[in-house]
Amino acid sequence: MPTMLEVNGLDHRYGTGETAHVAVRDLNFTVEAGSLACIVGPSGCGKSTLLRCIAGLIKPSGGTVSLHGDRVDGVPDDLAVVFQDYSRSLFPWLSVQRNVEFPLRWGSLGKAERRQRAADALEAVGLAGVGGKFPWQLSGGMQQRVSIARALASRPALLLMDEPFASVDAQTRFELEDLLRRVQREQGSTVLLVTHDIDESVYLSDRVLVLSKSPATIVADLEVGLPEERDQIATRESAEFVAMRGEVARLLQVGPTGGAGEDASGASATAGAGTAEKDPAKASS
């Protein structure tokens, strides 16, 4: 699979001089086209900062981000972001259909094509028939589906998701996770999703990138060796899932070498990641 996203030596600090705060430090990773990768890390470690740098919303203090080989220097046209707070990301005065069509206005599609794209995206997320309603007439889970449909309608090269299911109840969260995996597989989308939730990161993804405490560095890059077909009950009960969840939890608590997670960087972190990538089961033992 070709590389869709490449992050090289990414640093970001807020402020300058003695009061500067280093949010992320020397992050290096790639995301392959058509894959779903999750970033999991402790609260405040710099996950949103990383996403903002990838989305071109902030200019990193150092390092580079490339999307399908092109250096990101401003918000790329073919990138979409889904945030946690669906109630603030949808326009309440526009119908669901118009919300989904909205970002397509800046592309080259004609009106009829935009309408069709939005209808297709709504159908993909199980919301065919609600295009005429307004966001406030829908449940929270349905509103987040609309946000996902809107992101997918533009067929982005990369879909970034920042804690997208953190504001819905547990049952809806499970439904949305399954919906995301299904649509991502059907459409061959490339997704990078940030979450606090270890179980969610393992259940959803092809790869889990584990970040240290602030400033964020990558402590492990784990390939998820679970079967393609996943089930909220059976998969979560499987030995592979439980072992992987334990591994991610341990990495978050103590880092890859048994030392402090916040100090984990460089050679030891890379060595841990390399082992895990080659043999996820071994990494979980």
Q: Does 99 participate in binding ligand ATP (rule CB under 6 A)?
A: no
Q: Does 84 participate in binding ligand ATP (rule CB under 6 A)?
A: no
Of 189, 246, 238, give the one whose Cα is nearest residue 222.
246
Residue whose CB is less far from ligand ATP, 46 or 156: 46
* Cα 9 to Cα 29, 30, 45, 61, distances in angstroms: 9, 12, 17, 10
Residue whose CB is less far from ligand ATP, 43 or 108: 43
Long-range contacts of 18-27 (CB under 8 A, 24+ apart): 22/214, 22/215, 23/49, 23/214, 23/215, 23/216, 24/49, 24/50, 24/53, 24/215, 24/216, 24/217, 25/215, 25/216, 25/217, 25/265, 26/63, 26/217, 26/265, 27/63, 27/216, 27/217, 27/218
Closest CB 47 distance from ligand ATP, rounded Å: 4
For ligand ATP, which residue of 19, 43, 108, 285 counts as binding (CB under 6 A)? Answer: 43
For ligand ATP, which residue of 7, 37, 38, 45 counts as binding (CB under 6 A)? Answer: 45
Site string for ligand ATP, 177-206 (x = CB under 6 A): -------------------x----------
Stretch that binds ligand ATP, among 37-45, 200-208, 231-239, 263-271 (CB under 6 A): 37-45
For ligand ATP, which residue of 46, 60, 131, 261 counts as binding (CB under 6 A)? Answer: 46
- Quick one: 253 exposed, middle or buried, by C-beta within 10 A (0-12, 13-18, 19+)? exposed
The residues that bridge with 221 in the sheet, in sequence order, are: 209
For ligand ATP, which residue of 2, 9, 20, 21 counts as binding (CB under 6 A)? Answer: 21
Q: Does 48 participate in binding ligand ATP (rule CB under 6 A)?
A: yes
Q: Which residues bind ligand ATP (CB under 6 A)?
A: 14, 21, 23, 41, 43-49, 196, 214
